[in-house]
């Protein structure tokens, strides 16, 4: 760290670390969390005491429960009341978030522009606060019982503008500054992110994403800030738009970075006949054109295809490398797969059940103590009022005991067999493989609970608890990160939906190798990091990129691609921030425009712009 | 992070929510009746035991609520299948289309059972969901790291689904909805962040590398490694053989590897390539030209 700041002083560029407003975050979170439980828990407790207890619980026999009118009505209404309380809670969370959101908007309104990340400013702080603020309601809605309500939430808080008939599937991005047109479909795991972190000491590009009506994205579509998508654009799965792309619309887009594709290609990729595609593009959503399209489909398409014929054709197509089994090249791991375990066995239950039952028991004892104390001092009303706090505390107790017990099990397992790096057979009976699976499953339990925990930093706690060297300043809650053989430096940012693997199953082999991220590394969204990767200090890995097995990334560079190669030096802090390069995808033109840098008025002098030094600006383009 | 089974969240008409509410309501009633049983058993005898064992009992109530919702959802699905059988094909993303409507209804019905089994920390209930909703799979398959669709999917033994991968048997493409069966044979492994689209057929011992995507109606032949967007044959999968620990190595020249990848990714590696082996410049398509211009 000292080395870095010394270097920074030499070049005259400010490189200050981002200071997170933890005080604000935690206050905002607890206000939202506890207040939101307050009203629903009072309603539910009242229902339990006034209706459920006398009419259901006090009924002595099973037959009477279903024959007496009062008890059956009370029983049938209970689920409805519980669901109602859940909906009220969702509403309260949304309302409180809206109030705090509006308050931050008054402090520093969200507007388009590049926010310098190396200079501390009010704009940057409010940006981070808003980032944190939207996370809890978003997760509550998207992963909740009514995921369809997410459209309402965005419109209510005012972070996004969502049109009618829009479907937003489960994803990590798309939480603010995005405009969705009517009748759009955003596929699963897409990253529609209006903000991109360009290096730890670089910029945050914060630009609106605008989607016109009837845009469909197949899934895993990374869309960078400042992208505008025209009406009736169809993004195939995996199509990724880079910053400030402009899509005209009425077309199909494909690839990374995305480009317009021709009808022949559409037929090749989607095996939908040409006639249907032509007709589909003229589709007007009225009864007449519906009938026409329906007729064209029934005439030109049949879903049956012969697997044998396709296999024959596929066998005949040449592969890139010659088919010589003994070629040494064949044994090289020059691709990456995944670190998922191949199967779960019932014997894992022997791990799960004791941990769950024991921590459940302990949490129950805690709750019993609380209610006992309440009844001892005749404080039932206080008990009901404090119910949210008690529920939260019991939940914490449960989590705490789960963590402790799994650690005990883990120590025990590691005593029997020490985890080590290397290449092992991924077959039943191989001790290294079996113990790797056991460790993974055991850790998954705790990581799963921490993932569902409302506060995002609990992940870091769980990781540290399992012996990973990492700092609380690092950020990895929205990513799949293996919980062993990983070293994270200071202020490492792992992007949304990224996969970081320290182990990998290739065919019948399991490869385990340590992954090291040095200080201030930034891993882009939806990128894959293979075992053995070393990421140097202040290096940026682009979105949708893949590192290769044992690949070393030098410090201070921007890497991009599959597999990643050097793109350009990481010099965002030195570059001009008021120039952006827009790209028209359909016409393949690039043009540069100027925007205002989004920073406090008194700090504008610190930022290089048109009037000051323009030496570096040419490099940036 | 566990993601597990996936159903599309398209809510075509608000009235479909009635299925969702019905499932919540009916399965929670079972939970409350069980709670009544527990209360009668313990509350009057040992009040302390009542509180101490409550979290553990809630654990079992949760399981029974989940199982009930799966059962009721299955019954509802059977009833909807009587009105309209799910079938493969191309449909129009419009509320006039019967297949699209019933696809939405099926998704809405599956939402609650999947949600409740997904919120359960032990993954076996997810597998049960898959099984009951008509995915042909082993109970021991681990399908929790990626989004896997719950109908028209057939999986063999020992299938590895990569982290954050998407296995879909239905794809929305503009105004069209494409539903087609996805089949994996034994020992297939799907890399992280890979997408398998409808109509894909992957044969035995084949690896689809990470950040790759198949195309509709693509067959991946056995014992190969596939790579690319769209996926192309890369090299034979020798990693099924015995005693390779010493031979498995890494790549030192990443730039060279990248060039190889670029050939797969950007150029059209098909008949043109095989016909003009002596002249590699022939395969310059519009895309490569565009890349050079940049």
Q: Contacts of residue A280 in chain B, CB cutoff 8 Å? A: 174-176
Q: What is the pLDDT of residue A388?
A: 77
SS3 A59: coil
Question: What tokens were used for A354?
Answer: 């004791």
Q: Residue A480: which of B33, B164, B238 has the nearest Cβ?
A: B164
Q: What is the pLDDT of residue A12?
A: 63
Between CA A460 and CA A473 the distance in angstroms is: 9
Between CA B268 and CA A261 the distance in angstroms is: 13
SS3 B199: coil
Any A CB within 8 A of B256 CB:
no
Any A CB within 8 A of B261 CB:
yes
pLDDT band at residue B279, thresholds of 50, 70 and 90?
Answer: very low
Q: Is 90 exceeded by the pLDDT of residue B22?
A: yes
CA dihedral B76, B81, B84, B89 (to 10 degrees): 120
Any B CB within 8 A of A444 CB:
yes
Q: Which of residues 328-347 of A touch B (CB under 8 A)?
A: 328-345
Mean pLDDT of A271-293: 88
Q: Which of residues 184-243 of B touch A (CB under 8 A)?
A: 189-193, 195, 197, 199, 201, 203, 205, 207, 209-211, 213, 215-221, 224-225, 227, 229-230, 232-242
Show the beta-strand stretches assigned E in A216-255.
216-217, 222-223, 228-229, 233-235, 245-247, 251-254
Q: Is 50 exceeded by the pLDDT of residue A323?
A: no
Between CA A356 and CA A398 the distance in angstroms is: 9
Cβ-defined contact of A337 to B210 (cutoff 8 Å): yes
Q: Which helix (H) or strand (E) holds B28?
A: helix B17-42
Q: Contacts of residue B218 in chain A, CB cutoff 8 Å? A: 310, 314
Strand A579-584 and strand A589-594: the pairing is antiparallel
Q: Is 60 exceeded by the pLDDT of residue A257?
A: yes
Q: Which of residues 47-76 of A touch B (CB under 8 A)?
A: 52, 56-57, 59-60, 62, 65, 75-76
Mean pLDDT of B264-292: 44
Q: Is the dihedral of CA A129, A135, A138, A140 positive or negative?
A: negative
SS3 content of chain B, % helix, strand, coil (to 5): 45, 15, 40
DSSP code string of B121-153: SSTHHHHHHHHHTT-B--TTBB--SSEEESSSE
- Residue closest to A195 by CA, chosen among A473, A456, A524: A524
SS3 A219: coil
SS3 A168: strand
pLDDT band at residue A609, thresholds of 50, 70 and 90?
Answer: low
Contact assessment for residue B181 and residue B165, using Cβ atoms and an 8 Å cutoff: no
Q: What is the pLDDT of residue A321?
A: 53
Contact assessment for residue B193 and residue B167, using Cβ atoms and an 8 Å cutoff: no
Strand B182-184 and strand B201-202: the pairing is parallel
Between CA A301 and CA B242 the distance in angstroms is: 45
Contact assessment for residue B99 and residue B178, using Cβ atoms and an 8 Å cutoff: no
Q: Contacts of residue B40 in chain A, CB cutoff 8 Å? A: 57, 60
Q: Give the number of other Cβ atoms within 10 Å of residue A231's Cβ.
A: 17
pLDDT band at residue B5, thresholds of 50, 70 and 90?
Answer: confident
Q: Which of residues 514-533 of A touch B (CB under 8 A)?
A: 526, 528, 532
DSSP code string of A79-115: HHHHHHHHHHHHHHHHHHHHHHHHHHHHHS---SEEE
| Percent of chain B predicted with pLDDT > 70 | 89
Q: What is the pLDDT of residue A620?
A: 30
Contact assessment for residue A213 and residue A285, using Cβ atoms and an 8 Å cutoff: no
Contacts 24+ apart (CB under 8 A), A537-540: A537/A4, A537/A489, A538/A4, A538/A199, A538/A200, A538/A201, A538/A570, A539/A570, A540/A198, A540/A199, A540/A202, A540/A570
SS3 A417: coil
- If you measure CA to CA, which chain A residue comes closest to B160? A342
Mean pLDDT of A253-273: 86
Cβ-defined contact of B191 to A168 (cutoff 8 Å): no
C-alpha separations of A137 from A71, A447, A458, A475 in Å: 36, 21, 17, 19
B156 or A303, greater pLDDT: B156
Cβ-defined contact of B32 to A549 (cutoff 8 Å): no
Question: What tokens were used for A489?
Answer: 């430096």
- If you measure CA to CA, which chain B residue comes closest to A368? B51
Distance from CA of B239 to the nearest CA of A (A): 5
* CB-based burial label for A268 (10 Å; 0-12, 13-18, 19+): middle
Cβ-defined contact of A332 to B178 (cutoff 8 Å): no
A578 or A420, greater pLDDT: A420
- If you measure CA to CA, which chain A residue comes closest to B205? A507
Any B CB within 8 A of A83 CB:
yes
B155-170 per-position pLDDT tens digit: 998 898 998 899 999 9
Question: What tokens were used for A584?
Answer: 């028209």
Mean pLDDT of B177-205: 92
Between CA A495 and CA A477 the distance in angstroms is: 9
A84-123 per-position pLDDT tens digit: 999 999 999 999 999 999 999 998 888 888 888 888 888 8
Distance from CA of A105 to the nearest CA of B (A): 31
Between CA A371 and CA A259 the distance in angstroms is: 63
pLDDT band at residue B266, thresholds of 50, 70 and 90?
Answer: low
A10-38 per-position pLDDT tens digit: 556 777 777 777 888 888 888 888 889 88
Distance from CA of A442 to the nearest CA of B (A): 11
B157 or A608, greater pLDDT: B157
User: In whole angstroms, how large is the CA radius of gyration of chain B?
Assistant: 24
SS3 A217: strand
Mutate to test the interface with A, among B173, B246, B259, B293 (most CBs of A within 10 A): B173
Contact assessment for residue A74 and residue A55, using Cβ atoms and an 8 Å cutoff: yes
A528-537 per-position pLDDT tens digit: 999 999 999 9
Lowest mean pLDDT among A402-406, A464-468, A596-600, B169-173: A596-600
Phi, psi dihedral angles at B75 (to 5 degrees): -60, -45
SS3 B249: strand
Cβ-defined contact of B236 to A325 (cutoff 8 Å): yes
A210-230 per-position pLDDT tens digit: 999 899 998 888 898 999 999
Q: Is 90 exceeded by the pLDDT of residue A496?
A: no
Between CA A185 and CA A608 the distance in angstroms is: 40
Between CA A204 and CA A193 the distance in angstroms is: 11
């Amino acid at each position: 760290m000292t080395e870095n700041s010394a270097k920074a002083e030499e070049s005259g560029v400010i490189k200050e670390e981002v200071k997170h407003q933890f005080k604000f975050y935690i206050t905002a979170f607890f206000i939202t969390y506890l207040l939101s439980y307050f009203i629903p828990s009072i309603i539910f407790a009242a229902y339990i005491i006034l209706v459920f207890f006398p009419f259901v619980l006090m009924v002595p026999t099973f037959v009477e429960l279903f024959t007496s009118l009062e008890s059956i009505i009370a029983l049938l209404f209970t689920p409805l009341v519980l669901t109602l309380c859940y909906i009220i809670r969702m509403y309260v969370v949304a309302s409180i978030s809206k109030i705090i959101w509006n308050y931050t908007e008054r402090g520093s309104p969200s507007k388009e522009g590049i926010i310098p990340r190396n200079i501390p400013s009010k704009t940057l702080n409010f940006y981070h606060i808003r980032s944190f603020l939207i996370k809890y309601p978003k997760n509550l809605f998207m992963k909740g019982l009514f995921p369809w309500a997410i459209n309402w939430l965005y419109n209510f808080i005012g972070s996004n503008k969502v049109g009618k008939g829009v479907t937003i599937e489960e994803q990590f991005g798309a939480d603010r500054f995005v405009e969705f047109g009517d009748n759009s479909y955003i596929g699963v795991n897409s990253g529609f992110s209006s903000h991109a972190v360009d290096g730890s000491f670089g910029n945050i590009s914060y630009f609106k994403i605008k989607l016109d009506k009837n845009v469909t994205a197949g899934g895993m579509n990374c869309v960078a800030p400042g992208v505008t998508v025209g009406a009736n654009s169809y993004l195939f799965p995996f199509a990724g738009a880079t910053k400030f792309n402009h899509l005209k619309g009425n077309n199909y887009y494909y690839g990374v970075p995305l480009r317009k594709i021709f009808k022949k290609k559409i037929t090749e990729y989607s095996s939908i006949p040409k006639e249907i595609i032509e007709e589909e593009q003229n589709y007007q959503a009225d009864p007449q054109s519906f009938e026409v399209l329906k007729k064209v489909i029934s005439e030109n398409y049949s879903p049956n295809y012969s697997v044998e014929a396709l296999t024959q054709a596929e066998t005949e197509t040449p592969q890139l490398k010659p088919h010589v089994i003994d070629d040494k090249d064949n044994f090289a791991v020059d691709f990456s797969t995944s670190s998922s375990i191949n199967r779960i066995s019932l014997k894992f239950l022997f791990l799960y059940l004791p941990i769950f039952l024991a921590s459940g028991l302990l949490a129950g004892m805690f709750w019993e103590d609380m209610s006992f104390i309440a009844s001892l001092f005749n404080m039932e009303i206080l008990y009901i009022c404090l119910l949210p706090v008690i529920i939260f505390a019991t939940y914490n107790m449960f989590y705490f005991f789960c963590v402790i017990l799994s650690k005990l099990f883990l120590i025990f397992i590691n005593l029997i067999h020490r985890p080590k790096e290397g290449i092992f057979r991924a077959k039943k009976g191989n001790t290294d493989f079996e113990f790797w699976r056991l460790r993974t499953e055991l850790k998954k339990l705790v990581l799963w609970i921490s993932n569902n925990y409302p506060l995002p930093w609990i992940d870091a706690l769980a990781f540290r608890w399992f012996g990973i060297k990492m700092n609380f300043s690092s950020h990895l809650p929205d990513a799949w990160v293996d919980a062993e053989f990983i070293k994270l430096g200071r202020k490492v940012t792992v992007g949304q939906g990224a996969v970081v693997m320290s182990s990998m199953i290739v065919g019948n082999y399991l490869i385990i190798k340590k992954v090291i991220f040095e200080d201030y590394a930034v891993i882009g969204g939806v990128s894959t990091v293979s075992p053995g990767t070393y990421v140097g200090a202040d290096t940026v890995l682009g979105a949708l990129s893949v590192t290769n097995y044992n690949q070393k990334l030098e410090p201070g560079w921007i890497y991009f691609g599959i597999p990643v190669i050097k793109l350009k030096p990481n010099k965002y802090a030195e570059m001009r921030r008021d120039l952006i390069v827009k790209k028209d995808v359909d016409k393949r033109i690039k043009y540069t425009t100027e925007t205002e840098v989004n920073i406090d008025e008194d700090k504008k002098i610190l930022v290089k712009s048109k009037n000051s030094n323009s030496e570096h600006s040419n490099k940036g383009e | 992070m566990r993601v597990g089974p996936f159903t599309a969240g398209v809510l075509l008409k608000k009235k479909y929510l009635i299925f969702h509410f019905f499932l919540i309501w009916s399965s929670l009633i079972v939970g409350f009746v069980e709670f009544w049983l527990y209360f009668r058993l313990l509350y009057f005898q040992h009040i302390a035991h009542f509180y101490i064992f409550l979290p553990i009992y809630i654990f079992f109530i949760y399981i029974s609520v989940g199982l009930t919702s799966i059962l009721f959802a299955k019954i509802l699905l059977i009833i909807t299948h009587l009105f309209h059988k799910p079938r493969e094909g191309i449909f129009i993303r419009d509320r006039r289309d019967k297949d699209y409507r019933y696809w939405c209804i099926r998704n809405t019905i599956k939402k609650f059972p999947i949600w409740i089994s997904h919120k359960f920390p032990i993954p076996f209930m997810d597998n049960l969901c898959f099984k009951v909703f008509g995915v042909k799979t082993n109970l021991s398959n681990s399908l929790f790291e990626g989004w896997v669709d719950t109908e028209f999917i057939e999986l063999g033994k020992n299938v590895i689904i990569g982290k954050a991968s998407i296995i879909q048997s239905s794809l929305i493409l503009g105004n069209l909805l494409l539903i087609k069966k996805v089949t994996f044979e034994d020992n297939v492994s799907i890399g992280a962040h890979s997408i398998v689209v409808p109509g894909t057929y992957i044969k035995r011992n084949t690896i689809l590398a990470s950040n790759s995507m198949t195309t509709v109606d693509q067959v991946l032949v056995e014992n190969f490694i596939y790579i690319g967007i769209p996926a192309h044959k890369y090299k034979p999968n020798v990693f099924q053989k015995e005693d390779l620990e010493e031979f498995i190595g890494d790549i030192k020249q990443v730039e060279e590897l990248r060039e190889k990848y670029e050939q797969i990714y950007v150029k059209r590696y098909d008949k043109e390539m095989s016909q003009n082996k002596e002249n590699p410049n022939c395969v310059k398509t519009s895309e490569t030209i565009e890349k050079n211009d940049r």
